[in-house]
């Protein structure tokens, strides 16, 4: 079984520097185009997903629906795949946050007031891995958010939370092979665009 990890497309709020956390979010025009490009690329390869698991937050749902339409796949929404809850920081601009105070704690336990820590997100990722290990699906597309996908890598490879958070999910496809567990492969959007230009 392979897991194809995709972060939702760019959002209108993200462009403005707004912290969304578990707020819905809305894809920008660029975010929609990126989702189409990623789906078209998957369609042109030997990757053969049978289902899409998606966060139930709007920005992820919009991304998943675009991909599902092109690949003709069913979608299963799961709250486990939600972004890290940012508590009192949600809806605020990044420049409004006291980052010095936020960064006092070590990363695994770092959280915004009333929010969720990375360790708690990692526990959700562990629960999700257990859930899909019980399925008989072949390859699965997962549409989610940066923090959750990072913690999925942490569980999968037993990486530290610090190491996992360095992985960049923006504008790329990350592929995990549950059998090999050797390394994560990734395909950056720049390469995907180049492949499409050659056709």
Catalytic residues, which ones?
A: 8, 83
The Cα 64–Cα 84 span in angstroms is 19
Look at the alpha carbons of 7, 9, 15, 19 in this order and tell me if their dihedral is positive or negative: negative
Angle between helices 29-43 and 189-198 (to 10 degrees): 60
Are 34 and 189 within 8 A, CB to CB?
Answer: yes
Count of residues making up the chain: 199
Cβ count within 10 A of residue 181: 11
**Structure tokens given for 105:** 């704690």
> 66 and 156 in contact (C-beta within 8 Å)?
no
Query: Nearest 10 degrees: CA dihedral of 29, 30, 32, 36?
Result: 140
Q: Which residue has the tokens 């795949």?
A: 81
């Amino acid at each position: 079984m392979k897991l194809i990890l995709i972060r939702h497309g760019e959002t209108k709020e993200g462009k403005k520097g707004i912290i969304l956390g578990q707020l819905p979010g809305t894809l920008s025009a660029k975010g929609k185009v990126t989702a189409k490009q990623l789906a078209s690329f998957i369609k042109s390869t030997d990757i053969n997903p049978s289902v899409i698991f998606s966060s139930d937050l709007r920005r992820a749902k919009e991304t998943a629906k675009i991909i599902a339409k092109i690949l003709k796949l069913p979608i299963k929404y799961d709250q486990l795949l939600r972004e890290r809850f940012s508590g009192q920081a949600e809806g605020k601009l990044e420049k409004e946050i006291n980052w010095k105070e936020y960064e006092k704690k070590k990363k695994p336990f770092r959280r915004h007031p009333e929010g969720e820590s990375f360790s708690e997100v990692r526990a959700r990722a562990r629960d999700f891995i257990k859930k899909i290990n019980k399925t008989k699906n072949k390859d699965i597309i997962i549409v989610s958010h940066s923090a959750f996908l990072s913690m999925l890598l942490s569980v999968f490879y037993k990486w530290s939370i610090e190491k996992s958070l360095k992985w960049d999910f923006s504008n790329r496809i990350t592929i995990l092979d549950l059998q090999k567990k050797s390394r994560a492969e990734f395909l950056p959007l720049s390469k995907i665009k180049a492949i499409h230009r050659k056709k």
